[in-house]
Amino acid sequence: MRATWLICAKDLKARLRDRSAILIGIVVPLGLAFIFNSIFSGISGGSDVISLGVVNADHGAISQQFTSQVLPAVGRSGLIAIHPEASLTQARALAAKGTLFAVIVIPAGFSARVQVGQPASMQVIGNVDDPVSTEVARSIAESFTADLNRIRLSVATVAAGSAQPAGSVPLPPARIQALAAQAAAVAAPVAVSDVSAQTKELNQKSFFAAGMAVFFLFFTVQFGVTSLLEERNDGTLARLLAAPISRASILGAKLLTSFLLGVISMTVLAVATTLLFGATWGNPLGVAVLVVAAILAATGIMALIATLARNAEQAANWQSVVAVILGLLGGTFFPVSQAPGVLSRLTFVAPQAWFLRGLGDLRGGSISVVWVPALAMLGFAAVAGGLAMTRLRRIAEV
Amino acid sequence: MAGQPVLECCGLRRCFGRLVAVDGVGFHIDPGETYGLLGPNGAGKTTSISMIAGLLERDGGEVTVAGEPMTTRSVRAKNAIGYVPQDLAIYPDLSGRENLMFFARLYGMPTSQAKRRTDEVLTLTGLADRAGDQTKQYSGGMKRRLNIGIGLLHQPKLLILDEPTVGVDPQSRNAILESVEGLSGAGMAVLYTTHYMEEAERLCDRIGIIDHGKLIAEGTRDELVSLVGEGDQVRLSATGDLAGAAADLAARSWVRQAKALDGSIDLVVENARGELPAILTEVASVGVIVRSVEVTEPDLEAVFLHLTGRALRD
């Protein structure tokens, strides 16, 4: 074990000194997470919470119902913040500044026109650079107007059914209001559905932080196992083999180096993205379990790839290809699980998918939810790592 | 040179597929002795010492180092060996001192002893003033010296040097040869592989000649040369009665052949260096005036040619 630590310490010192591991393990993923986060923040408004402005120029009964009942219900989802604005001019200015992502405008006379059965419309002012928020605002407005239309249709139907032949007196307004109230009472309130599903998804910042971290983890752990091939090419492996230490200690040192590089990289990235970007990784213990399982899986797979190569350069090339393919399949850049057909099922051949799923589950549940994804990743580690160990013994010869 | 041999190996055999790389190689090395394994590239030198150093599994044969059986898993036997591979087996991103400290600790030295030995080896190799520099900044000669220094760190009983002068400039080469001469003088057994005949002649007490995986001859330089069966060649450029002088010399028991040519006498004698005064006295006695003397002794190149029909560097 002493020899294992000595070789591992030597490898870590050399790796940290040549800066390649720091670059791949920390700087690049941190930079990419920042870039992706910035790009997608521009599309979604730069925040996880969509800020919607509401300008109520009507102040009638129906618009009051929208602002006092519907919008608060929407706001309670936690995903949308409603900001009443006094005037359309002010709302436009805030939207132009980016403070508001979209604005719903209820024009003057809206309630009166609805109540007498005349055409009425709500307006949505969106931002061409933020189509998602605009679409959300439009959906809320359309839900409400659809509800109004349903009520109006119900009242009209009742009125038509109770009407006398020609020359008869129309229903009194009080009766119409009573019918509308009855129809509204059975109407489902507008609400954001599937709230539980939302809480089990990583928010954007956390997704890119975790996605980039686990994507580059597969590159970072290469440095440990590939160094065995480098030592063979450079002739230093012969010197290690001639030393009074076991071969297992040499192999163990290489795997330990990979593991520790992975731990350093993931820990620094988790802390840095939390502090710098406000990413929320979840329960630290659960995250630690997932991170350790992911590192072991990455180390096992990368070690196996290294054993198939003839030299360090070839190993690095093959490992990069595998890391990129698994990273894409695992949804580190975009969620493949939402893709149609085989692709959505194929995502789980990648440990990265289990890692991200585990973090998502951890966000919406207790720590116990991490065991399934963790065990899946440990399965990858056991199979790939076991095969790699048998093959690594052959590499550890001059 | 008395006492138990530091290295004993016999019947070493190793195959790579259908190729028999080493076939029945065996020799021993006594304490303080420098043994040269001489052979052309691909003869089986490196494979032999890889088995001796416990780097490579062998298909047959036995190796004992300092009384301990050597296998790829032998810890005690490996502790008795200092191995200097042909390649520069040093870490470029570590300094000279860090390289030495790493290997010193790997050989089980406690930190204080490792530091002391590191300082000693840095001084021995002349690298003390560059100890803190990363070795990728070293010159080729400095790297070579460090490469050898690492093998000396734990003061092994047997130092194995695998062609340490390949690709080395003449100045560094001479420094390496001098340091090896110093080691054997200090009582360390040395196994030195080379395909340079001059190095083997200069350094080695005994030499094994290896070709196509087999040890085809072994002995001291003189013993090997005697295998050739030729004497030393002496050419006297002279004037006078050359034919008469040649006839007189031919009558001597230690002269195998004497021929008078145009302006010279060519002789084949058993010990040219020893008999040269007698030769000069003999020719002077018949009035021959000698202008120059040229002595050519058979060397290991001739031995290899004699044994294999090929030149050593073919």
Query: In whole angstroms, what is the distance from residue B297 CA to residue B127 CA?
Result: 40
For A285-294, the pLDDT digits (tens) are: 999 999 999 9
Range from A175-184, A296-305, B115-124, B137-146 carrying the lowest mean pLDDT: A175-184
For A351-372, the pLDDT digits (tens) are: 999 999 898 888 766 788 889 9
Query: In whole angstroms, what is the distance from residue B48 CA to residue B51 CA?
Result: 5
Q: In this structure, which amino acid lies at residue A17? A: R
CA B41 to chain centre: 15
Backbone phi and psi for residue B238, each to the nearest 5 degrees, phi listed first: -155, 170
Check if A396 contacts B (Cβ < 8 Å): no
Range from A78-82, A394-398, B113-117, B206-210 carrying the lowest mean pLDDT: A394-398
CB A179 within 8 A of CB A158: yes
Distances from the Cα of A379 to the Cα of A321, A349, A351, A354, B196, angstroms: 21, 11, 9, 11, 55
Of A234, A238, A242, the CB nearest to B78: A242
Instruction: Please indicate whether, in this complex, the C-beta atoms of B78 and A398 are within 8 angstroms of each other.
Output: no
The answer on pLDDT for A219 being more than 70 is yes
Of B79, B85, B94, the CB nearest to A244: B79
Tell me whether strands B214-219 and B206-211 are parallel, antiparallel or unpaired.
antiparallel
A169 DSSP assignment = P
- Determine the average pLDDT of the residues in A168-180: 67
Interface of B with A in 24-83 (CB under 8 A): 50, 53-57, 72-76, 78-79, 81, 83
Q: What pLDDT sits at residue A397?
A: 62
Split at pLDDT 50, 70, 90, the class of B141 is confident
Q: What pLDDT sits at residue A185?
A: 63
Most confident range (mean pLDDT) of A134-138, B55-59, B177-181, B196-200 is B55-59
Q: What pLDDT sits at residue B256?
A: 85
Q: What pLDDT sits at residue A199?
A: 45
Split at pLDDT 50, 70, 90, the class of A194 is very low
Judging contacts by C-beta atoms under 8 Å, the chain A residues touching residue B103 are: 239, 243
- Determine the average pLDDT of the residues in A66-95: 81
Check if A397 contacts B (Cβ < 8 Å): yes
Split at pLDDT 50, 70, 90, the class of B11 is very high
Residue B32, by phi and psi: left (phi above 0), alpha (psi -120 to 50) or beta?
Answer: left
The answer on pLDDT for B2 being more than 60 is no
Q: What pLDDT sits at residue A191?
A: 41
Mean confidence (pLDDT) of chain A: 81
Instruction: Please indicate whether, in this complex, the C-beta atoms of A10 and B103 are within 8 angstroms of each other.
Output: no
Instruction: Please indicate whether, in this complex, the C-beta atoms of A14 and B105 are within 8 angstroms of each other.
Output: no
Judging contacts by C-beta atoms under 8 Å, the chain A residues touching residue B53 are: 242
Query: In whole angstroms, what is the distance from residue A2 CA to residue B224 CA?
Result: 47
Check if A398 contacts B (Cβ < 8 Å): yes
**What pTM was estimated for this model as a whole?**
0.71
For A4-29, the pLDDT digits (tens) are: 999 999 999 888 887 888 888 889 88
Of B73, B78, B87, the CB nearest to A243: B78
Q: Token pair of B301, please?
A: 């190149």
Split at pLDDT 50, 70, 90, the class of A141 is confident
Query: In whole angstroms, what is the distance from residue A169 CA to residue A159 CA?
Result: 11
A251: CB partners within 8 A, 6+ apart: A228, A389, A392, A393, A396
Judging contacts by C-beta atoms under 8 Å, the chain B residues touching residue A396 are: none
The answer on pLDDT for A182 being more than 80 is no
The answer on pLDDT for B255 being more than 70 is yes
Bridge partners of B190?
B34, B159
